[in-house]
């Protein structure tokens, strides 16, 4: 089985041992779930809009290089659609495919679990930082 796509942008490891293995291969990493969520909330977004939405005020945000690479991988995996308009200056927009929308639906319970257990997670991973300061920083 091939380990990529014809474009060579996917880092797919397949074949998979189970459905969870396949799903984690798609959303693995720090930024991919956040990209998917930003497109879910924002709808169709241009690159700059998406990058600004990824900053959120709680972190330095995602670099252009990393966002570009992650978007190429998500596009190769069929969860993000990239629309290029033949205009000057060039305009490129990103949106979720039906597969991407279905993936976001599957990720919602994971986000709810994180919300429910955030205080404990923060206490273990970031001792000395309260849930309130984490939530306030994330909300910008």
Contact 96, 79 (CB under 8 A): yes
Show the tokens assigned to 132: 């309130």
Q: How far is CA 55 from CA 52, 87, 112, 123, 140, in A?
A: 5, 28, 21, 23, 9
* Spatial CB neighbours of 113, under 8 Å, sequence gap ≥ 6: none
Q: Could you report the per-residue pLDDT of 76-125, keeping only the tens digit for each?
A: 999 999 999 999 988 999 999 999 999 999 999 998 999 999 999 999 98
Task: For residue 73, give Cα distances in angstroms to 60, 63, 79.
Answer: 22, 15, 9
pLDDT at residue 59 in the model = 53
| Predicted pLDDT at 54 | 82
Q: Binning pLDDT at 50, 70 and 90, where does residue 74 land?
A: very high
What pLDDT, in 10s, does the model give residues 4-49?
443 444 455 668 999 999 999 999 988 999 999 999 999 999 999 9
* pTM score, whole prediction: 0.76
Q: Is residue 104 within 8 Å of 36, Cβ to Cβ? A: yes
């Amino acid at each position: 089985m091939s380990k990529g796509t014809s474009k060579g942008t996917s880092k797919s490891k397949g074949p998979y041992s189970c459905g969870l293995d396949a799903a984690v291969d798609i959303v693995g990493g720090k930024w991919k779930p956040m990209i998917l969520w930003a497109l879910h909330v924002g709808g169709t977004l241009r690159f700059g809009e998406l990058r600004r939405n990824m900053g959120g005020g709680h972190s330095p945000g995602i670099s252009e290089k990393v966002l570009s690479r992650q978007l190429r991988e998500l596009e190769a995996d069929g969860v993000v659609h990239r629309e290029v308009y033949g205009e000057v200056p060039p305009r490129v927009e990103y949106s979720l495919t039906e597969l991407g929308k279905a993936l976001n639906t599957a990720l919602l319970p994971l986000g709810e679990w994180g919300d429910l257990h955030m205080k404990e997670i923060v206490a273990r991973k970031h001792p000395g930082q309260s849930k309130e300061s984490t939530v306030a920083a994330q909300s910008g």
